[in-house]
A and B are shown apart, each in its own frame.
Chain A
Amino acid sequence: MKHRLTITVNGESHEIFAESRRTLLEVLREDLHLLGTREICGEGECGACTVLLDGVPVNSCLVLAVDVNGRQVETIEGLAPEGRLHPIQQEFIAKGAIQCGYCTSGMIMTAKAFLASHPSPDEEQIRGAIEGNFCRCTGYARIVEAIRSSAQRLSGAQEDA
């Protein structure tokens, strides 16, 4: 049986018909063609499919689409409106935090949620925040560095405002 769902993704409202067992990840990729959110493990261990659900990071492979009815989802595609990169995206590029890129979307979404609640984190906190995000290429060092410098830029921006 299909459920009629209304989901707001990156500020845009979508009406979707989805079977009970379908995940948010499947709906994002297959129905909404938002291919920036990726699956690595499919069982909530790697964080690659992280999106923000009402501002909270979730593994979209573990969230049923029916549970997202009426809620707000933010994906990597929502981070750079009109092509203007978010400071976290800029820092990931500048600091060399991206290699193959397959984990990057989930890593950046996790970082965004983390920095919203931890404006000036120390290294251990950053490492703890991305412990659930798997990366096979970088050894995490550049990613930690990128999140640290993103924090500086974001908190600087807040002070300016």
Chain B
Amino acid sequence: MPDFRYVGRSVPKVDGRLKATGSARYTSDLSFPTMLWADLLRSPHPHARILNIDTSRAQKLPGVKAVITGQDTPMSFGVSKQDQTPLARHKVRHVGDAVAAVAAVDMDTVREALSRIKVDYQELPAVFEPRRALAPGAPQIHQDAPDNVAGRCRYQNGSVEQAFAEADYVCQHTFHTQRMAHLCPEPHNCLAVWEDQDRLTLYLSSQMPSLASNMLAQAFGLPSSKVRVVTNHVGGGFGSKTLSRFPMDYVAPILAKRTGRPVKMGHSRAEEFIYSSFQPAYEINVKTGVKRDGTITGRHFQVISDCGGYASYVPAVTSVDGALQGVLYRYQNYLYEGTAVYTNLPYGGALRSVGSTQIHFAGEAQLNMIAAELGLDPVELRIHNATRTGDKTAVGAVVHSCGLAECLEKVAHEIGWKEKKADPRPNRGLGVGCGVHFTGIRYPGSPDADFAGAAIRFNDDGSVNLATSCVDIGPGTSTVLSQIAAEVLGVDLECIHVVYGDTENCPMGFGTRASRNTAIGGKAVMNAALEAKEHLLKAAAQKMNTDPRELEAGWGRVYLRSRPEEGHDIAEIVRFHRYRSNGQAIMTSCHWDAPSHGNTSFAFSFGAKAVELEVDPGTGRVKVLEVVAANDLGKAINPLGAVGQIEGGVYMGLGAALGEAILLDEQGRMQNANFLDYRAPTALDVPPIKSILVESNDPVGPFGAKGVGEMAMIGTPDAVAGAVFDACGQWITDLPITAEKLLSALRDR
């Protein structure tokens, strides 16, 4: 392994100083001269026809500059289906569906004006459970979906019937997973500014500015170059700040155009819980066949996901999870059937691992059940079936790098699996779970492409501007990309200035989703940097009257390989190259599309979790004592950042496992839309987390790197569920595993 100056080293965040001093600016910090404030009027009914909207009393209020309704928002938008309008036109489909909006001089005036809008509704029968929505005679939510199905997906390979016939043991279980909130610290918010009535800038707290801009341009009938999206620093995303999927993304520009003034709007904290496209609820049925020795012969997954009132990401998410379950183990007989169903609830989306944490929970919890039933060790059972490098999996994906078995071995060793299993203690339990996640994604209905862009420009002072299509929403993307650029170019890390989150100044790319920034964003940076370095060496060769092959770049200099003391500062070369007749700038760019080979993703991250916990039989309370998490991330470009991703992922996984849940009343109103009642784990709830980085060196990823951020979460609830069984003999099959559920199970036994 070559000795790298930056790659593979723990480097503090390049924007750490900005953030530690409070100087980093987020969209929520922005204000403009003459700016107006705006907000939405939301439906109190889950399903109702809009008969009339009277805005006259709102219009008359001094300070109100514009009031709009569905008649003023003619565009439709969506992801899997174009089934949404910014403001509801004919009917509302969930409590909180937006029906009108006001722009005014301050928020007090906005609120007063909203309260003066009178909407006449005719209430319609509503349906809140996917099973009921699928049943004959259920209320129909969308005209083009008589069965309330928003999307179906299917993956099939081999024959599961044959697999079950060949198995020594076949079992079938149903699991339920909860709605979970992203809880972005910075809520969804935006600020719209028009120039000349035909050029929009939307400051948007976004993970994916390029695609947000495309969706807005399409909706407004503008050339995409006329819609600029700027993110600034982003206070967390976790999959929620993707595309333009929210009423405000369209309403703010409409109000801004109508008033000729900048318009700012955003979610309140309570709205952010429920209207920022939470992780949807799933019902997951799994049937598995196993040989006596633990060999899995085949698996059949049936997933019903609850879209809510609009499809948004949910059909795509449901499908993606099918692609992933077919990659984890070596069995070839595979059937995955997903059904995404409309209900009269707020709409869901994708949360860190796009529902894969939930599907894994079902599959892996069941493997733990099988191990217990057959008297097999759950770690050995997994290693026995684990996908390996070079495997062609049941969904057709060829896995070019895979450290799954190593991850399992390492977590078991680190937590003391064998020793503790041999010497069990009362009310204590050990559990294991493992998983796979993609690095980048092509999903049905989206273009067959998965690219990132990078542009590199050497400045006169020898520093480098690196513009990327990726957005740093917190995980340290700008640091990792800086490391890659500095490594390849031979400049100091401090000389790299990363520019992101601006569609006017950054290359086009899919932005931050699907654990793709380090690997796909990084590969684009690497290729752009390799080309820039070639230019640099050629320029230096001219200045030094030598062959570029004799030269190397490093430590901010270009020097002779044979006599490193002989060379020039990069700044000198840049200026020499620019300021002369027929001079040139050293600027390169790269658009890198991840090779698919028919796969959904070019590479897959693998990982495993081992958990030790204690159950209090008197209260049902679970206390997690330790989590060991191993992630095959290909290559850790920045181990400090990677460990931060794993710890953050495990934390969210523990939230999913033990407490977090959006609770709805009988009309679909959220009952716990505040921090006190929602119960995300606090610093006191989080146990010690031991992170293990497994480097399988992907042949395609930059320096061997793959993704890490989402795989970090996967496997945690399954390991917790297994450990709870180990501790007290109870399987909890619906998340979260609350004290209430566990106590009730313990009492019933």
Among the stretches B124-132, B605-613, B644-652, the one at the interface with A is B644-652
Indicate whether B233 reaches chain A with its CB closer than 8 angstroms. yes
Are A137 and B236 in contact, CB atoms less than 8 angstroms apart?
A: yes
The winner among B29, B184, B643, B647 for most chain A CB atoms within 10 A is: B647
Report yes or no: B641 in contact with A96, Cβ–Cβ below 8 A: yes
Bound-state CA distance A131–B24 (Å) is 24
Q: Which residues of A sit under 8 angstroms from B473, Cβ to Cβ?
A: 100
- Interface size of B by CB at 8 A reads 53
| A113-135 CB contacts (< 8 Å) to partner B | 126-128, 130-135
Would you give the shortest CB distance from A76 to chain B, in whole angstroms? 4
Q: Which residue of A has the minimal Cβ distance to B474? A: A100
Bound state CA distance, A154 and B22, in angstroms? Answer: 21
Minimal beta-carbon separation of B141 from chain A (angstroms): 32
Q: Which of B88-96, B221-229, B395-403, B683-691 contacts A (4 or more CB under 8 A)?
A: B683-691
Task: Tell whether A40 is near chain B: CB-to-CB under 8 Å.
Answer: yes
**Closest-CB distance, B350 to chain A (whole angstroms):** 16
Given A46-B675, A127-B683, A141-B647, are A99 and B475 also a contact pair (CB < 8 Å)? yes
The dominant DSSP class at the B interface is loop
Contacts of B13 in A (CB 8 A): 93, 96, 98
Residues of chain A with a CB closer than 8 A to B184's CB: 136
- Report if A41 contacts B (CB, 8 A): yes
CA distance A138 to B234 in the complex (A): 15
Tally A residues with Cβ within 8 Å of B. 51
Q: Name the residue of chain B whose CB is nearest to the CB of A99.
A: B474
Q: In the bound complex, what is the Cα–Cα distance between A141 and B651 (angstroms)?
A: 10
> Are B236 and A96 in contact, CB atoms less than 8 angstroms apart?
no
Nearest CB in chain A: distance from B513 CB, A = 16
Please tell me if B322 contacts chain A, counting CB pairs below 8 Å.
no
B651 near A140: Cβ-Cβ < 8 Å: yes
Among B23, B185, B641, B689, find the residue whose CB has the most chain A CB atoms closer than 10 A: B185
Q: Are B643 and A104 in contact (CB under 8 A)?
A: no
Q: Could you tell me if B16 and A41 are in contact, using CB atoms closer than 8 angstroms?
A: no
Cβ-closest chain A residue relative to B475: A99
Is A32 in the interface zone, CB < 8 Å from B? no
**A140-159 near B? 1/0 per residue, CB < 8 Å:** 11111000000000000000
Interface residue? A43 (CB, 8 A): yes
Interface-centre pick from B21, B475, B680, B686 (highest chain A CB count, 10 A)? B21
Contact A98 B16 (CB under 8 A): yes
| Most-contacted residue by chain B among A100, A108, A127 (CB, 10 A) | A100
Contact, CB under 8 Å: A138 / B238:
no
Q: Is the CB of A130 within 8 A of B683?
A: yes
CB pair B675–A96 under 8 Å, yes or no, is no
A144 CA / B688 CA spacing, docked (Å): 11
B572 on the interface (CB 8 Å rule)? no
Is B680 touching A127 in the complex (CB atoms < 8 A)?
no
Contacts of B185 in A (CB 8 A): 38, 40, 48, 100, 102-103, 134-137
In the bound complex, residues from chain A placing their C-beta under 8 Å from that of B21 are 36, 76-77, 79-80, 85, 89
CB distance from B642 to the nearest CB of A (A): 10
Name which residue of chain A comes closest to B185, CB basis.
A102
Residues of chain B contacted by A85 (CB below 8 angstroms)? 17, 20-21
Interface residue? B15 (CB, 8 A)? yes
Asked whether, in the complex, the Cβ of A93 is within 8 Å of the Cβ of B269, the reply is: no
**Smallest CB-CB separation from B651: which chain A residue?**
A139
| B22 contacts A143, C-beta separation under 8 Å | no
A78: shortest Cβ distance to chain B, in Å? 10
Q: B641 — which chain A residues lie within 8 A by C-beta?
A: 96
Return B657 CB to nearest CB of chain A, in Å.
13
Are A100 and B186 in contact (CB-based, < 8 A)? yes
Residues in B neighbouring A126, C-beta threshold 8 A: 683
The answer to the question of B9 belonging to the interface, with a C-beta cut-off of 8 Å to chain A, is: no
Question: What is the bound-complex CA distance between A154 and B124, given in angstroms?
Answer: 64
Q: Which residues of A contact B649 (CB under 8 A)?
A: 139
The reply to whether the CB of B19 lies closer than 8 angstroms to some CB of chain A is: yes
Does chain A have a CB within 8 A of B476? yes
Specify the chain B residue showing the minimal Cβ separation from A147. Answer: B683
Q: For the complex, what is the distance from the CA of A79 to the CA of B24, rounded to whole Å?
A: 15
- A23 sits at the interface (CB 8 A): no
CA distance A46 to B393 in the complex (A): 44
Whole-angstrom distance between the alpha carbons of A59 and B266 in the complex?
A: 22
A128 to B686, CA, bound (A): 11
Q: Is B744's CB within 8 Å of the partner chain A? A: no
Q: How far is the CA of A94 from the CA of B17 in the complex (A)?
A: 10
Nearest-Cβ distance from residue B257 to partner chain A, whole angstroms? 26
The answer to whether B680 and A136 have CB atoms under 8 Å apart is yes
Hey, what's the 0/1 contact readout for A78-113 against B, CB within 8 Å counting as 1?
011000010001101110101111111100100000
Contact in complex: B235, A141 (CB < 8 Å): no
Q: Mark contacts of A48-77 with chain B using CB atoms, 8 A cut-off: 1 yes-contact digit, 0 otherwise.
A: 100000000000000000000000000111
Bound complex: CA A15 to CA B508 (Å): 48
- B474, A101: Cβ atoms closer than 8 Å: yes
Q: What CA separation (Å) do A104 and B236 show in the bound complex? A: 12
Q: State which of B22, B29, B675 has its C-beta within 8 Å of the C-beta of A41.
A: B675
B26 within 8 A of A: yes
B22 in complex: contacting residue of A76, A127, A131, A144, CB < 8 Å: A76
Q: Are B25 and A94 in contact (CB under 8 A)?
A: no
Of all chain B residues, the one with the shortest Cβ separation from A104 is: B19
A131–B679 alpha-carbon span in the complex (Å): 12
Q: Are A140 and B686 in contact (CB under 8 A)?
A: yes
Q: Does B505 contact A (CB under 8 A)?
A: no
B183 at the A interface (CB under 8 A)? yes
**Min distance, Cβ B173 to any Cβ of chain A, angstroms:** 30
User: Whole-angstrom distance between the alpha carbons of A108 and B16 in the complex?
Assistant: 13
Measured in the bound complex, the distance between the Cα atoms of B22 and A36 in whole Å is 4
CB of A77 within 8 A of CB of B17, answer no
B395 to chain A, nearest CB (A): 31
B674 within 8 A of partner (CB): yes
Given contacts A40-B185, A96-B641, is CB(A131)–CB(B675) below 8 Å? no
CB neighbours (8 Å) of A37 from chain B are: 22
Task: Indicate whether A137 sits within 8 Å of B17 (C-beta atoms), given known contacts A94-B12, A127-B683, A130-B683.
Answer: no
- Does B269 contact A40, Cβ atoms closer than 8 Å? yes
In the complex, A94 Cα to B268 Cα: how many Å? 33
A-B complex: 3 closest residue pairs judged by Cβ atoms: A36-B22, A100-B474, A101-B19
11 contacts between A and B (CB under 8 A): A41-B269, A43-B269, A85-B21, A90-B20, A96-B10, A96-B640, A136-B652, A137-B475, A139-B648, A139-B650, A139-B686
Known: A35-B25, A137-B474. 4 other contacts (CB 8 A): A101-B474, A136-B183, A140-B682, A142-B647
Interface residues in chain A, defined as those with a beta carbon under 8 Å from any beta carbon in chain B? 34-38, 40-43, 45-46, 48, 75-77, 79-80, 85, 89-90, 92-94, 96, 98-105, 108, 126-128, 130-144
- Give the A-binding residues of B (Cβ under 8 A): 10, 12-13, 15-26, 28-29, 182-186, 233-236, 238, 268-269, 473-476, 640-641, 643-644, 647-652, 674-676, 680, 682-684, 686, 688-689
